[in-house]
Chain A
Amino acid sequence: MISKATRVAMAALLLGASTLAVQAEGWMPEAPECIAPANPGGGWDFTCRQVGKVMQDEGLIDKTMQVVNLAGGGGGVAYAETVNKRNDSDDLLVAASSSTATRLAQGAYPGNTVDQVRWVASIGADYGVIAVAKSSPITTLPELLAQMKENPASIAVAGGSAVGGWDHLKVLIAANAYGIEDVRKVKYIAFDGGGEAVTQLLAGSVQAFTGDLSEAKGFVDSGDIRVIAVLAPERLEGEFAAFPTAREQGVDALGANWRGFYAPGGMSDEAYNAWVEKVATLYASDEWKAVMAANGIAPLDLQGAEFDKFVHESIAQIQSLSREIGIIK
């Protein structure tokens, strides 16, 4: 039973949406679909669902975005599906992030390369942090790295990704920038997610933590851990401004976990441009700003060709680093 008031409200909503739609670009997806290459609940799933919701609220799409969970291979199954079976679809977006780029760079999607899809746009980034427990004698990043250089076994760094994954690479980027010759000596302990890694930092099992700002936020606020470096180009805004960047401490290391989308390689230019435009409009909307603020996502505003270039560059960087430390040949 839908009450009369609800029906009127819905009609108004639909009407509003369609007027907005007419005002926007001409091309509209017939059945907008977003593949989240993981089970419900993770970061990719979040990207699809939140973007779908905000796009509909803003009238950028006139139908509900259907979210399809296609888990497997750390995103590899969805990548293969997009390349092999959905190559001509104009209605499809797939959620991606730095870990997609890392796996592509390390050849972990067998038979697939970065050029088989069209990179649409980013929707934000999560900057990497390096932190220690509050009781730790170490207070700056150079201190930590100096001790690591002198006695690698004395510092165990915990992170939420596998060895060679993004959390690990962030420490290695910093170690590399500091001038540690053999970064393979850096003792990295892989945990199942950032939360578990922080807990082990508190429990005293490890000496340092590498992860994303959003993972560490609660423990920083409570004073249990101390952020000694943010891997951002400059200090972040608002409450995060207190954290020093690695750069200002003389360690030229950057590490952003970006989130964004790719689309099938055979997507028409008309549809591709329309999607780029839609994500750009979404990014500029107040509702999306609120979502970003709520989830600790930092700005990263790249669309279309710019985003494509960014993804290629970060893959090249990860590749050279991975080759250097011997994860790939």
Chain B
Amino acid sequence: MNTRFLSDRIFGLVGLALAIGYALSARAIEESFLSDAVGPKAFPLIIAAVLGLASAVIVLRPDPDPVWLALPRLAEIGAAILVMVLYARFLPVAGFVIATAFAATYLTWRLGSRPIASVVTGICISLGIYAVFHLALGLSLARGPLGF
């Protein structure tokens, strides 16, 4: 097997596994006594079949590999995901302005700003969004211990 096509082959296999898993959980859907003629399982099973078929074609006729990144870059993205997850977790606790300032500061810093500039940018982004979304548009954002 030509390694230049490895990504797509792996991707296709993952897709096949996904299709099988999807079909299995579709079969496990509990049907109530009261159902329409087609029922809740049939359509997901059709979709699983299409998914599986498309994945098989990808395995058999792959495109050339993309450029993957070196490990440190991958860690970079992993860290960003972690920060986002933490942001989602602590947003309701810490309140919108504080949580957003932290997350925005981190992203600004990792995208190449100097630390102090990042903090300033982060706080500005947070306050700016708060002004537009909460004060102008009246969306209810997470209220923290300090009331914002």
Contact = CB atoms under 8 A, between A and B. Distances in A.
Contacts, number: 22
A325 interface: yes
A326 B36 contact: no
B93 to A, nearest CB: 11
A164 B140 contact: no
Contacts of B36: 163, 189-190
Contacts of A112: none
Nearest to A184: B34
B3 interface: no
A325 B140 contact: no
The winner among B33, B34, B35, B36 for most chain A CB atoms within 10 A is B34
Interface string A67-107: 11100000000000000000000000000000000000000
B2 interface: no
Interface string A306-329: 000000000000000000011100
A163 B140 contact: no
Interface residues of A, number: 12
A205 interface: no
A326 B30 CA distance: 13
A184 B140 contact: no
A308 to B, nearest CB: 29
B33 A163 contact: no
B33 A327 contact: yes
Contacts of A66: 140
A190 B36 CA distance: 10
A69 B141 CA distance: 11
Interface string B6-44: 000000000000000000000000001111100000000
A326 B33 CA distance: 5
B36 to A, nearest CB: 7
Contacts of B140: 66-69
Interface string B29-70: 000111110000000000000000000000000000000000
Interface in A45-83: 66-69
Contacts of B34: 163-164, 184, 325-327
A263 B28 CA distance: 37
A318 to B, nearest CB: 14
A80 B125 CA distance: 33
A248 B70 CA distance: 78
Contacts of A164: 32, 34
A238 B88 CA distance: 52
A20 B105 CA distance: 48
A325 B33 CA distance: 8
Contacts of B32: 163-164, 326-327
A40 to B, nearest CB: 10
Contacts of A325: 33-34
A69 B140 CA distance: 8
Interface in A152-197: 163-164, 184, 189-190
Interface string B86-130: 000000000000000000000000000000000000000000000
Interface string A241-276: 000000000000000000000000000000000000
Given A190-B36, A326-B33, A326-B34, 6 more contacts: A67-B140, A163-B32, A163-B35, A326-B32, A327-B32, A327-B33
Interface of B: 32-36, 140
5 contacts: A66-B140, A163-B32, A164-B32, A184-B33, A325-B34
Closest 4 CB pairs of A and B: A326-B33, A68-B140, A327-B32, A327-B34
